[in-house]
Structures are given as C-alpha cells and as structure tokens.
Structure 1
Amino acid sequence: MGRSAMPERAAQLYAAATELFIERGYRDVDVADITARCGVGHGTFYNYFRNKRDLLESIQSRTVEELSAAVAGERPPSDWTCRAEYVAEFTDRARRAVTYIAKNRALVSFVVIAAPGVDEQAYESVLAAYDQLGAQATEFLEVGRRQGWIRDSVDVRIAGQAVVSCVLMATFPMLVGDGADVDPEPIAQACAAFLLGGMRRVLPDS
C-alpha cells in the first residue's frame, strides 16, 4: 500500500526504515533498529509489516508509483493539435521525471542501485518497474505515431524502454555523485531532443 494510505504508525515505521536503509544499507539494518528509531516496541512492527523484507517491497513499489505519477500528463492526447505541442508535452514529462529524481536522489539511488543486489526478488522488482515505466512511455509514443509525428517504422515498445533508459542514465551522475544541486531543465531538453529527434517523421519536400 502507498504510504499515504498507511496508518500513522505504519508510516512512521516506513519512513524510519527508508532512512536507515539509505544510511546503512539494507543488510545492516534489522527490525530492532527500525523500532528504536521510532521509539516503539519490537512487537509494534509486526502489527503492520510481516518482516524487514516486506518493507523493502513497499519502498520499491511506492517509489515507482510516485515516479509514474510524477510523469503522467494532465492533458489528454486529444488536446495535442500539432507536433510542437506533443514535443512540449514530452519535454515536460521528462522534466518532471528528472525533477522527481533530483528531489529524491538518495531514495532513487537506493531503489535503483542498491536494492537490486539484496536478492533475486528485489532484482526482479526493478525489472518489473522498468517494464512498467517503459509501457507508460510506449503509450505516449504510440499517440505520436498515430498522429504521424513519429515514423511508422519505429518500434514504440522498444523506444519506450529507450526513453526510460535515457532519462535514468542522464540522471545517473546525480545518483552516485556528491549531492550537489542539479538543474533538471538542460537534462530534460537534451533527452527530448535526442529521443524525439531520431524518431521524427521526415516529410518529403512539397
């Protein structure tokens, strides 16, 4: 369940676990550490979570849900009347993705880089998240193809995965960097220009 839907005590445990996993690493944190940070008894933890692994799953899924919501557009495709508006919407979505990552870099770094090494299940969760976000990008690109703004020959499923990869790798330096502030705008502009520029339908001279 999302943290917003959690009871207050569960949300406190979730927040404490997230902080500790980021600070120390998943393997160096146990349930006693989490409850101690919240100032509650050990048994309280099990009123809300099965075990530490249950919390990891919640952190992974919630982060993906938040990122997906951050990049979801507010305007329906019917509002896009020309390619310029479509490109502007794509750029805005890339900007929102980069902004979310920049604001939550420690969390995203843990989910993307550290969590997959916990076990096979955590690794599979990251792959599933990649597929989910890729499908979201694919849906957007399919609209562009139907409108004739993207070449028919483009495999939008693969292109959607490429969008996720491009944005993630463009933000990778901030995930492993020193925590310095990053301006999302040039990253979003570069991703949009690179990705859409190569897929644009080239019209014959009239």
Structure 2
Amino acid sequence: MTDRIATRKRELVEAAYKVFCTKGYRTSGVADIVRETGVSHGTFYNYYDSKRHILDDVLDYAVESIIEGVVGEDQPNEATSLDELAGQFRVMLDRLLTLVEGKPGLVQFTMLDTPAIDDELVQRLLTLISSFGVLTTAYLDNGVRRGFLPADLDTKIAGQGLLSLMMYSVVPTLRGPLVEPERTRHIDALVGFAFNGMAARS
C-alpha cells in the first residue's frame, strides 16, 4: 500500500470514527463520512465498498486509540515492586478515564453499538480485547519474574481480571465525567481491589 493510499484510508477511517461516535452507526451513512472528510462519494468507494466495510477498520482504530492512550510509552517490565505495579495500574486507569471523558462517544461505540451490529464484529471486538489482555498479562509476568508476585499466580487469568476492571471503570462515565473526589475514590477502590488480594497471596 502506497503512502498516499494509506493516508487517504486513514482520513476516511478517522472521519467515519467521528461520525459513528457522534451520530451512531445505524443513523449515519456514507454521505456523512464523505462530508466530514471533504471528499466525493467516488473517492470513498475507491477504498471501501460500504459503510459496513469501513467499520472493521474503524473498530481497529478505536481500540488502537484506547491502547495507545492508556499504555503510552510504559513498559510492562518497569515495575520492581507491587507498589510500583499498582502505581502503573493507577496511572492507566486515570489515562483511560481521561480518554473516554475527552471522547464521550468512544465507549458507546466500542462497547455498546458495535457488538449489536453482527456476530462477526462481536468476534472481532473480542479478538482486539484479547490483545489488550495479553498486555495486562505481561505486567503480571514481570511481577512473577521479579518475585514480588507469587510464582503460582495464573497471570493469564489475573490479567483478564485486570482488563475486566479497566473495562468496568469506564461504565460510570456513560452518565458523564467523574469529578473529584469521586474520580479518586473510583480509582482507589479498583486499585485496592486488584492488588490487595495479590499482596495477601505474596
């Protein structure tokens, strides 16, 4: 794929993402996407066959945005203690809440709208979420290697548990941004729930 083609597809995907998050997938159309992008219908159909066709790339883009926004430049092997690991999780939760508060349609689109479209998208979303689960598992694997998490910890299952907590953390934002001190209590409770159990085991 040439740079020009990749750039144009990215522009269309970003425009479709904005349209789907603001208007909803079912109530928007190709006309809304090309209007947002400022290109012709013909240009759109040079790259995608339909609104449904572009949706796969839009979902990939949305999930990539979440992972990049939450993880940033952090590395799973940085923590040298349970406190540092809990601190990493706290920062990621804070970033996640900031991300979804800045893009209020993101949660609605990825967690509610997309799975209702068809079974293929449900499977695609689950695969993308699993890739995030692999990342959370890597943070726990580091703890086991360094010895501040128990050697018999099932990091895959525990990593999925951390991912579930992160996904739950954004549910209250569907009603609007969390304000202080509620936001801090929300994060503290999730961090405490996640890591106090691990501390007790170790």
Q: Would you say how many aligned residue pairs link Structure 1 and Structure 2?
A: 197
- Partner residue of 1:63? 62
CA spacing shift, 1:23–1:75, aligned 2, 3 Å: closer
What are the superposed Cα offsets for residues 146-165 of structure 1, whole Å, 9 maximum, x if unpaired?
22222233211111111111
Q: Is the 8 A contact 1:130 1:161 kept in 2?
A: no
Counterpart code for 2:47: Y
CA distance in 2, matches of 1:124, 1:97: 23
Q: Tell me the secondary structure at the aligned position of residue 191 of structure 2.
A: helix
CA distance in 2, matches of 1:15, 1:76: 27
Counterpart code for 2:153: V
CA distance in 2, matches of 1:22, 1:148: 43
- Partner residue of 1:90? 89
CA distance in 2, matches of 1:73, 1:16: 23
Q: Tell me the secondary structure at the aligned position of residue 134 of structure 1.
A: helix
TM-score (norm 1): 0.80
Counterpart code for 2:199: R
- Partner residue of 1:197? 196
CA distance in 2, matches of 1:70, 1:10: 21
CA spacing shift, 1:39–1:90, aligned 2, 3 Å: closer
CA spacing shift, 1:79–1:171, aligned 2, 3 Å: closer
Shift of 1:85: 2.4
CA spacing shift, 1:70–1:13, aligned 2, 3 Å: closer
Shift of 1:36: 3.7
Q: Is the 8 A contact 2:107 2:170 kept in 1?
A: no
TM-score (norm 2): 0.82
CA distance in 1, matches of 2:40, 2:72: 43
CA spacing shift, 1:19–1:75, aligned 2, 3 Å: closer
Counterpart code for 1:25: G
- Partner residue of 1:128? 127
Shift of 1:37: 4.2
In structure 1, the gaps of 5 or more residues are none
In structure 2, the gaps of 5 or more residues are none
What are the superposed Cα offsets for residues 154-200 of structure 1, whole Å, 9 maximum, x if unpaired?
2111111111111211211212x1x3454554433322111011112
Identity of aligned residues (%): 31
CA distance in 1, matches of 2:188, 2:86: 10
- Indicate whether 1:46 and 2:45 are aligned: yes
Q: Tell me the secondary structure at the aligned position of residue 200 of structure 1.
A: helix
CA distance in 2, matches of 1:72, 1:86: 13
Q: Tell me the secondary structure at the aligned position of residue 14 of structure 1.
A: helix
Counterpart code for 1:96: R
Moved more, 119-128 or 151-160: 151-160
Shift of 1:108: 2.4
